[in-house]
Structure 1
Amino acid sequence: MNKIEKEEVLSVFKEKGALLEGHFKLSSGLHSAKYLQCAKVLQYPETAERFCKQLAAELKTKGVKVDVVVGPAMGGVIIAYELARQLGVRSVFTERVDGKVLLRRGFEINKGENCVIAEDVVTTGKSTKEVIDVLKEHGANLTACASLIDRSGGEASFGVPFVNMAQVEVETFEQFACPMCKQNILVEKPGSRKEI
């Protein structure tokens, strides 16, 4: 399998109309003039398979042990499912209920299971850290994290290997310092946390 380089990943995002420009409020609360809408890329199963095959290969190269892949809803659901398929393990997802991240729908993570958390985009790592808390509650072992895109500028750290398809530098702003807010440009909230 030929390694997919960052330039090709971004080319796929552009080709699928998934690199959006405007004024966006991210799940982290930060504002940005660009947004990577992974759902537009992941609507193509062959692309999800190709990307997750590479993530799985990187995890295997690092010797990561995994029994279950966990994805935070919504963005991590498809990634977790396809990555689990590539690794030959099961997949579950967490959901946010009244502001708290939980396992629902009868999903279980057993004490001592080795877990990989899979996300679409990591910006601050907040969602991943919330899932880490769920794993701790269940006595599971976090063995790695994976995402399609790392927007953290290399700052996201989870104490385990973190593999991704591409690190993308996109400038973000606190609301009080956001140039689009100062120009009264309408803000969009494209992520899974809908409060603005």
Structure 2
Amino acid sequence: MTEQELIKLFIERSALLEGHFRLTSGLHSNRYIQCAQVLQYPDLSAMLGEKLAAPFSEQGVNLVVGPAIGGIIVAQETGRALGVRAIFTEREQGKMTLRRGFGIKRGERVVVVEDVVTTGGSTKEVIEMVKEYGGVVAGVGSLVDRHSGALDFGVPFYPLLKLDIETYSSDDCPLCREGIPVVKPGSRKE
């Protein structure tokens, strides 16, 4: 599946939205990616997980980790494609952590996956948490990289789709100046 086919899929499933959005990062944007609109279809989730798993198939990966909520299905399907465990992190008192009895064994090779990368902040938090447990991060994968500029996670990064979508600080947002109401469509309401 090409990037153009992925864009078409996201548009057809109402996953690529236009408007005025406040992102999880706090930044504002005129476009929003709602991957859940695609991931609600198990056949599409499985296909995307297989595509994310492909670069890691020969790397001896033991575990896939994704941040809740957006990374849960992505981790599950990538783990299924690799034939390994898949777990997710949750934010507790502002810090990314493992709950529900999940753990990472020292030396386990881990792939960190996300639905959408904007600033890379959540992904970096998950990488640091994996390292704190003694895991070895083999790489990062995401369905969509909407970050402008270069991202350095310190490991290979494999997004399925790269979209150049402008973001603005809330203090200098042209959409706010135009009086367009802002919407917070994501999973976190903080």
Asked if 1:36 is matched to 2:33, the reply is yes
1:149 matched to 2:148? The reply is no
Match of 1:129 in 2: 124
| Residues 59 and 163 in structure 1, CA contact (< 8 A), matched pair in contact too | no
Deviation, structure 1 residue 143:
0.6
2:101 maps to a residue whose letter is G
Q: Offset at 1:161?
A: 1.2
In structure 1, C-alpha distance between the alignment counterparts of 2:9 and 2:147, rounded to whole Å: 20
CA contact (8 A) 1:18 1:41 kept: yes
Cross-structure match for 1:98: 93
Among 81, 88, 95, the alignment partner of 2:83 is: 88
The one-letter code of the counterpart of 2:11 is K
Count of aligned pairs: 190
Range with bigger deviation, 129-138 or 8-17: 129-138
RMSD: 1.1
* 1:7 corresponds to: 4
Deviation at residue 181 of structure 1 after TM alignment: 1.0
Question: Do the aligned partners of residues 154 and 6 (structure 1) sit closer, same or farther apart at CA in structure 2, a change above 3 Å counting?
Answer: farther
Shift of 1:100: 1.0
Q: 1:35-114 to 2 correspondence within 5 Å?
A: 35-60=32-57, 63-114=58-109
For structure 1, the residue ranges without an aligned partner over 5 or more in a row are none
Percent of aligned positions with the same letter in both sequences? Answer: 52
TM-superposed CA distance for 1:18, in Å, is 0.8
Gaps of 5+ in 2: none
How many Å separate the matches in 1 of 2:80 and 2:114? 15
Please tell me the residue identity of whatever aligns with 1:85: R
- 3-state SS in 2 of match to 1:33: strand
Aligned equivalents of 2:149, 2:2: Cα separation in 1? 17
Moved over 3 A (4+): none
Per-residue CA deviation, residues 12-53 of structure 1 (Å, 9 max, x unaligned), is 000001111111111111100100100000000111111111
TM-score (norm 1): 0.93
Alpha-carbon displacement from aligned partner over 1:64-95 (angstroms, at most 9, x marks no partner): 33100000000000000000000000001000
Matched, 1:158 2:150: no
Gap change, CA 1:45 and 1:154, over 3 Å in 2: farther
Equivalent in the alignment of 1:192: 187
Q: Provide the rounded CA distance (Å) in 1 between the counterparts of 2:60 and 2:180.
A: 46
How big is each residue's C-alpha offset from its partner over 1:146-186, in whole Å with a ceiling of 9 and x where there is no partner? Answer: 00001113522211111111100101101111111112222
For 1:35, what is the secondary structure of its paired residue?
strand
Q: Which residue of 2 aligns with 1:180?
A: 175
